[in-house]
Amino acid sequence: MTADQYSTGPGVFSSPRHRGEPYSRLVAHLVPPGERLLGVVDVDLSDLIRRVPRKYRPKESDGLFAVVFHLLGFVGWVVEVIEETVFGFSRVVRRIFRGRGLVGGWQSQAGRFAIAVLSGPKNHSNFENHDVQLVFTDRRILLTYEFREQSELLGEIPRDQLRRAEIRHTSMSDRVDLHFADGSCAALGASEHSAPALEALAR
């Protein structure tokens, strides 16, 4: 199966969806006139990347919601401790065989990319997200999240920050590494159909 089978226009790749409009149409409102859409690739941030440390998370809004979130903060902290205890060892073991999910730290270009994805949509506080659509245009790379036939912008990357996408698929993994200009790297999961398109678009 080739990338052309998922195209919605000349030269435009769009990862397949189970139903509804193709991704390329869902993100059309985010691409202004004069900017050319090249492709949309649906990927998942690797579960080898742990939760974003609290000091790097986006600040919560003020008002009543902030008060509620602060009251729930301790509960969230307890949950995180339990999760790290239960899943932390498993993650360490998987890293031995599959490598690290994030190289360069949270303040690197790859780290800021991971934070934008994991933080999820603005209206979903304390929501840990792994799903993201990478929207490639001739000027930049948009990070979007699709929910109920709507695409929301999570962030963007200048084209010159992303150097390449390296496919590292095995029989047990659909890993693709994004390599950034500062030498940092973030691991993704991309299907066998979408990975070649991601590799080509990232060049």
Q: Which amino acid is at 29?
A: H
- 91 pLDDT band, cuts 50/70/90, is low
Is the pTM of the predicted complex or chain greater than 0.85? no
Regarding predicted confidence, which is higher, 136 or 58?
A: 136
Residue 120 contacts residue 128 (beta carbons within 8 Å): yes
pLDDT(49) > 80: yes
- Mean pLDDT computed over 166-188: 96
CATH of domain 3-49+99-201: 2.30.29
pLDDT tens for residues 120-160? Answer: 988 765 568 999 999 999 999 999 999 888 899 999 999 99
Q: Which residues contact 179 (CB under 8 A, 6 or more apart)?
A: 162, 163, 164, 165, 166, 185
End-to-end CA distance of the chain: 21
- What is the CB neighbour count within 10 angstroms for residue 7? 16
pLDDT(192) > 90: yes
Counting residues of the chain whose pLDDT is more than 90, the rounded percentage is 57
What was the pLDDT predicted at 172? 86
Q: Round to whole Å and give the CA distance between 56 and 111.
A: 10
Whole-angstrom CA distances from 166 to 42, 149, 154, 194, 198 are: 16, 30, 23, 13, 9
Q: What mean pLDDT value characterizes the chain?
A: 83
